[in-house]
Structure 1
Amino acid sequence: MKITAGLGCIDDYKVLVKAGADEVFCGYVPYEWNKKYGTLFPLNRREVLYYNVQINTFEDMKILRRMVDVYKVPVSITFNYLYYVEEQYEMIAKIIKDLMNIGFYEFIIADIALILYLKENNIKCSIHLSGECAELNRLSIDFFNKLNISRYIFHRKNSIEDMKSCINNNEMKNLEYEAFILNERCHYTGAFCNSLHCDEMIHLCKMPYHLSKVSEYENSFEEVDKRLELYYKELDNKYNEEIYMENQYYRENEDEMEDSYVLGKTGCGLCSLKELEKAGVTHLKVVGRGNSIENMERDVRNLKKAMDMLDDIEDSESYEKVVKDKLLHGKCNGECYYSTRRI
């Protein structure tokens, strides 16, 4: 299995390669696209400009291509949005052709119509079907095979049994299969989520919520307004209290601030590497666009350590125990992508 890691800016490429990444993926959104379509029509579901989450100039892409020539670790470009309007396909095709002209040939795409558009216009590139497309089972895989997909990226909600079934029952051989392994475990399935990930609003997947029975006031907007008002008031109070406590702690412990890095804090599948390998997964995704490069470097190094243990341990339960003991130090944070067992 190979490691593919998310890139936020071209400066991160060398760090990820040296940490052990076998592949890198990144977003590219040129200024012309942002000027015309802005936040509401993103290219890759990362409508963020405030911090490094994607590359925004063609000159940077040229530099990145030269770095790939030196370090020999390939880069794939994401076009992760679920759908585009008709007028945008021509512009996207031009962006892809420009990237191909400088040496990028692998693209992560979620929109089936875009894949068909590229095929009809004889734009021959390697397509990785994005997890945002949500290939759910072997029947969907049979359908997507008609589109000349070279790699299937399983979405976050696929179980290992789902993946195994898709891989074993796929008549097309010599294909690649990618699964999430670290970071950004989400309670939504990307293909059915229409929220924005932008600077102006908190990401919907980060909003606090609780589940409850529908009350007798379900049709009363007055009751809903009261609850919303109370919710935001409590949220403001909680936020102000947390900010105060954080500032207080920082002042008291400025010289002894502990390392905040936690392996797999927002999503982890390390314990299931043995099962993923048996299922036929060929690539492991470390999500990281927008993450700090220091944390990404440690994620890749730790994943590399976990993979080095695979050949020495035969059964999955023993492997899981060793990973928890040596990499997680006996503490599982419960943000598991696949494992149902907990410490």
Structure 2
Amino acid sequence: MRICTGLVTIDDLVPFIQAGAEEFYCGVIDEQWLDRYNYIVALNRRPWPDANFSSFAELAEVVNIAHAHGCQVFFTMNEHCYNNQQLGILDYYLEQAVRCEVDAIIFADLGLAGYFADKKTNVDVHISTGGTIFNCYTAEMYTKEFHADRLILPRSLSMAEMKIIIESSPNTEFEVFIKNEGCTYIDGFCNFVHGTRFMNNNDGVIFNPPCVLRYQVIESITPIPYDVPLLEKKLNWILDNKGDCGVCSLYYLNQLSVDSLKLVGRASDRSQVLSDIRMIKSAIDLCGEVANFEEYHHMISSQICQNSWKNDQLITHCYYPEILDHVNGIHNVQGSV
């Protein structure tokens, strides 16, 4: 399994490689786009300046450095949908990315993915999680009709569903999310305004958008049978800037023959990204050293993630919650001995 992380500055590239990352995804928003749309119209799901390079010259330099280190660079064109009036500038972006010799372009819009596939370049096609790959039939469509080389699976899939899809397309690469910015909802159906996380008057705290909340519908009654101040405290904790995590599930992802693990975020703090890369790299290495999940989880919780989530916090921030059944099973066995 390889580690795929976002990149927004050239200075971060070599440190990330040295930490263990082998794949990088990034975007460009240059004057051509800004003159027409500013940052109001999103090009690649990250419509703010600190999440993109500002020129293709920077992208070309990143590609050259990455290739010199045996790493790959993927260019993001993964907005869910574009319109016909944008085709001219989108074509310009595609041509520039190919000229920079990126290894792949990430698509979510079916029309743009098909348009690029018909060009028959030597650049791979990756289908974003926005492509909503829920079953093996969708996977087959993308690989046969759009010549997709890699499919990025949605966060909402269970491990059992992933297994069916991956086994149905043995010649296709698969990428899954492993850390940060998890969401209850399905990315490919999302049109939420995510800029609310940068609200003013938050005492310096950057909140995740409220769409990340896992909710439960209950009957409205009076008096409210909950400790409201405590619920408010928990809500603020859930919405703070601590990212979701799937490291506990990495042992099973390795058994599924997942090819790449995505660290989410293209505007994250360098020290946090380095810490995440090193943690994931240690977990990947551990998969080849242990005999079973119980041993893996013991090593993860005692040595690699000992300062991470507490058990009662896991359900809110766990990428693949079904893994908690295995974790709780271990705890129950240990508690009965």
TM-score range, shorter chain: 0.7 to 0.9
By how many angstroms is 1:63 displaced?
Answer: 2.2
1:157 and 1:189 in contact (8 A); partners too: yes
By how many angstroms is 1:21 displaced?
Answer: 0.4
Q: Which moved more, 1:277-286 or 1:308-317?
A: 308-317
By how many angstroms is 1:282 displaced?
Answer: 1.0
2:197 and 2:207 in contact (8 A); partners too: no
For 1:105 and 1:312, locate their aligned partners in 2 and report how far apart those are by CA, in whole Å: 31
Aligned to 1:34: 34
Are 2:248 and 1:271 aligned? Answer: yes
2:92 aligns with one of 78, 91, 94: 94
By how many angstroms is 1:337 displaced?
Answer: 1.0
Structure 2 counterpart of 1:8, one-letter code = V
Q: Secondary structure at the match of 2:166?
A: helix
For 2:10 and 2:132, locate their aligned partners in 1 and report how far apart those are by CA, in whole Å: 29
Q: Secondary structure at the match of 1:75?
A: strand
Q: Secondary structure at the match of 2:84?
A: coil
By how many angstroms is 1:330 displaced?
Answer: 6.9
By how many angstroms is 1:121 displaced?
Answer: 4.2
1:145 aligns with one of 143, 146, 153: 143
For 2:84 and 2:95, locate their aligned partners in 1 and report how far apart those are by CA, in whole Å: 18
Aligned to 1:178: 175
2:25 and 2:76 in contact (8 A); partners too: yes
Are 2:184 and 1:206 aligned? Answer: no
Per chain length, whose mean CA-contact separation is higher, i.e. which structure has more relative contact order (CA < 8 Å, sep 6+)? 1
Aligned to 1:162: 161
Q: Secondary structure at the match of 1:324?
A: helix
- Structure 1, unpaired ranges of 5+: 217-233, 243-263
Instruction: Give the 5 Å matches for 1:183-332.
Output: 183-198=180-195, 202=199, 206-207=209-210, 212-213=217-218, 265-329=242-306, 332=309
For 1:188 and 1:61, locate their aligned partners in 2 and report how far apart those are by CA, in whole Å: 32
Distance 1:69 1:307, change over 3 A: closer
1:176 and 1:281 in contact (8 A); partners too: yes
For 2:84 and 2:103, locate their aligned partners in 1 and report how far apart those are by CA, in whole Å: 23
By how many angstroms is 1:16 displaced?
Answer: 0.7
By how many angstroms is 1:207 displaced?
Answer: 2.7
For 1:313 and 1:65, locate their aligned partners in 2 and report how far apart those are by CA, in whole Å: 36
The aligned length equals 297
Structure 1 counterpart of 2:290, one-letter code = I
By how many angstroms is 1:148 displaced?
Answer: 0.5
Structure 2 counterpart of 1:291, one-letter code = S
TM-score of the superposed pair, with normalisation by structure 2: 0.80
Structure 1 counterpart of 2:5, one-letter code = A
Q: Secondary structure at the match of 1:312?
A: coil
Aligned to 1:336: 318
Aligned to 2:110: 112
For 2:262 and 2:103, locate their aligned partners in 1 and report how far apart those are by CA, in whole Å: 19
2:117 and 2:125 in contact (8 A); partners too: no
Structure 2 counterpart of 1:32, one-letter code = Q
Aligned to 1:76: 74
For 1:331 and 1:296, locate their aligned partners in 2 and report how far apart those are by CA, in whole Å: 15
By how many angstroms is 1:39 displaced?
Answer: 3.4
Aligned to 1:228: none
Aligned to 1:8: 8
1:272 and 1:316 in contact (8 A); partners too: no
Q: What do the CA deviations read for 1:125-153 (whole angstroms, capped 9, x no partner)?
A: 21111012120111211221221110011
Aligned to 1:223: none
By how many angstroms is 1:196 displaced?
Answer: 3.0
2:117 and 2:147 in contact (8 A); partners too: no
By how many angstroms is 1:17 displaced?
Answer: 0.7
By how many angstroms is 1:85 displaced?
Answer: 0.4
- Structure 2, unpaired ranges of 5+: 200-205, 222-228, 332-337
1:4 and 1:286 in contact (8 A); partners too: yes
Structure 1 residue ranges, 4+ long, deviating more than 4 angstroms after superposition? 121-124, 199-205, 208-216
Percent of residue pairs bearing the same amino acid type: 26
By how many angstroms is 1:9 displaced?
Answer: 1.9
RMSD of aligned alpha carbons? 2.8
For 1:200 and 1:312, locate their aligned partners in 2 and report how far apart those are by CA, in whole Å: 40
Are 2:52 and 1:60 aligned? Answer: no
For 1:162 and 1:109, locate their aligned partners in 2 and report how far apart those are by CA, in whole Å: 22
By how many angstroms is 1:323 displaced?
Answer: 0.7
1:2 and 1:284 in contact (8 A); partners too: yes
